[in-house]
Structure 1
Amino acid sequence: MTVNPQDMLNRYLEAEEEVLAGREVRMNGKSLTLADLSDIREGRREWERRVERQKAGGGGPAFVRFV
C-alpha cells in the first residue's frame, strides 16, 4: 500500500479533531476514550515533518510503502 504523506497528515488531523470533540463512551460511571490523543498527536507531528521534507524537496521518496 502506497501512502501520500499529506493524506496521512490529514487523517491524523481528523482523528485529533474527533478525540477533542469528546469521542468517548460512558457506562456505569466509567469512561472509555476510543483513541489516545497523545498517540494521535505524536503521529501527526511525524507526518507534518514528512510533509515538510517533501515540500522542501528532500528526505527521500514522496510516498511511503507499508508492507
Structure 2
Amino acid sequence: MAGITLAIAEAKLAVWLAAEEALATSQSYEIEVEGNRRQLSRADLGQVAKRIDYWNGWVVRLGGLATGRSRTRTIIN
C-alpha cells in the first residue's frame, strides 16, 4: 500500500458515518471494509465512534497537508 491519501481517508470516514447513522435508527448494520464483512449492532456504537475519530484524524491531518496548513513546525537555531 502506497499510503493513506486524503481521498481514502474521506471515503473511510464516510463509511463509518453511514454505519453510525444506520445504528442510530435500527438494531444492526452490515458493513464491508476492505473485503471484510461485519455485522454491527447498537452495542458496537463505541467501536464505531472510535473508528470515526480515527478516520477524522486522518482527514484533518491530510487535509492540512493538502492546503499547506500543517501543524508541523521546523525550528532552526
TM tier relative to shorter chain: 0.5 to 0.7
CA-based RMSD of the aligned residues comes to 2.1
1:43 to 27, 48, 51: 51
Residue 14 of structure 2 corresponds to residue 10 of structure 1: yes
**2:45, 2:63 → 1: CA distance?**
27
Task: Flag the structure with more relative contact order, 1 or 2, with Cα contacts below 8 A and sequence separation at least 6.
Answer: 1
Provide the residue aligned with 2:61 in structure 1.
Answer: 53
Identity %: 24
Which protein has the bigger helix share? 2
**Uncovered stretches (5+) of structure 1, i.e. residues with no partner:** 25-32, 59-67
Deviations 1:11-39 (A, max 9, x none): 00000001111224xxxxxxxx9431100
TM-score normalized with structure 2 length:
0.56
> Across the two proteins, how many residue pairs are aligned to each other?
50
